[in-house]
Amino acid sequence: MAFAKPNFEALKLASEAVREAPKLEGVPTGVPGLDELFFITEFKGDKPVTRPLPGFPRYAAIHVTGVSDTGKSLLAEQFTLAQAERGEGVIFVTVEVPANFVSVGLEQRRQAMRIDKKAMDHVLLVDAASHDELREDLPSLLSTLDVALGKVEARHLVVDSLTGLYEAKEIAARALVRKLYAYTKDRGLTAIFTSQKRSGHEELSAEAAGGYVVSHVMDATLVLAKKLVMSTAQAKIWKKPIGELVRFFRIDGSRMCGHDSRTHFMEITPEGLLVVGPPVGGEEA
């Protein structure tokens, strides 16, 4: 049996890798109630002390999944504005909705979040909804992103939604998701990827279009869900009258830092802002 040449570049001592690893720090999520749900454990002498990070771990690729109208795009937009407000550049790839419509949504969110107009100068929209080749040819998308990166000195990437990049070719989804993930790591970006859940999927699971592919690849998965109150038992637990909509939020996993794993109530305010509320089972649960 013939052996191929070894790849020496792939070898690294753990002690060396840990010296080169980025420091764990939080990036504000832009969603009230969410920053505190990611935490870090440090050792003070022998004693482990856990504190909020707070926010998403920087350099993480975050997967946000849910069926339609659960607030994925709101989360993507609020995240975008929270970075732009601090002067950190964001590339927002819009896959389904043309850029000028996205800008209207962003503008509404900006006003609701009371963020200065100047923040919008740090957001670069990439319109993959209007340009087929960006959706159908990943190399075209990546080279366009490289140009975009330079324009706003981007430290963040938002893709809304990933599903639109592998529609009708789910076999290719794994390779595409891996390549995009590797791209964010190579360019040192913190990223948000939204993805569609099918109505047949269990509401609060991490399964998205294409199965568990996206969740397996990404560093963290957030699940957004909604349910109609249809029984007196539900009305009692969820504290809403029969016939009303209740929204839920859950962090399914995060490999870069600790996180709250409870299911939380979530709301969309009349101004159109996503807010994460208390855990469904109460604070002690």
Query: Which positions touch ligand ADP (CB under 6 A)?
Result: 66, 68-74, 108, 268, 272
149 binds, among Mg ion, ligand ADP, none (CB under 5 to 8 A by kind): none
Cβ(226)–Cβ(245) under 8 Å?
yes
CB closer to Mg ion out of 73 and 215: 73
Buried b (16+ CB within 10 A) or exposed e, 195-224: bbbeeebebbbbbbbbeebbbebbbbbbbb
- DSSP-assigned states of every residue in 17-58: HHHHSPPP-EE--SSTTTGGGEEEEEEETTEEEEEE--SEET
CB closer to ligand ADP out of 54 and 272: 272
CB closer to ligand ADP out of 108 and 140: 108
CB closer to ligand ADP out of 66 and 279: 66
CB closer to ligand ADP out of 192 and 257: 192
Residue nearest to ligand ADP (CB): 272
Cα 31 from chain centroid (whole Å)? 12
70 binds, among Mg ion, ligand ADP, none (CB under 5 to 8 A by kind): ligand ADP
69 binds, among Mg ion, ligand ADP, none (CB under 5 to 8 A by kind): ligand ADP
Q: What minimum distance in Å lies between the beta carbon of 265 and ligand ADP? A: 15
Torsion of CA 102, 263, 258, 11, to 10 degrees: -70
74 binds, among ligand ADP, Mg ion, none (CB under 5 to 8 A by kind): ligand ADP
Q: What minimum distance in Å lies between the beta carbon of 81 and ligand ADP? A: 14
Buried b (16+ CB within 10 A) or exposed e, 139-150: eebeebbeebbe
Q: What minimum distance in Å lies between the beta carbon of 136 and Mg ion? A: 20
Q: What minimum distance in Å lies between the beta carbon of 105 and ligand ADP? A: 7
Buried b (16+ CB within 10 A) or exposed e, 100-137: eebbebbeebbebbebeeebbebbbbbbbbeeeebbee
Q: What minimum distance in Å lies between the beta carbon of 110 and ligand ADP? A: 12
Q: Residue 224: which H helix or E strand, with range?
A: strand 220-228
89 binds, among Mg ion, ligand ADP, none (CB under 5 to 8 A by kind): none
Q: What minimum distance in Å lies between the beta carbon of 138 and ligand ADP? A: 23
Q: Which residues bind Mg ion (CB under 5 A)?
A: 72-73
CB closer to ligand ADP out of 47 and 114: 114
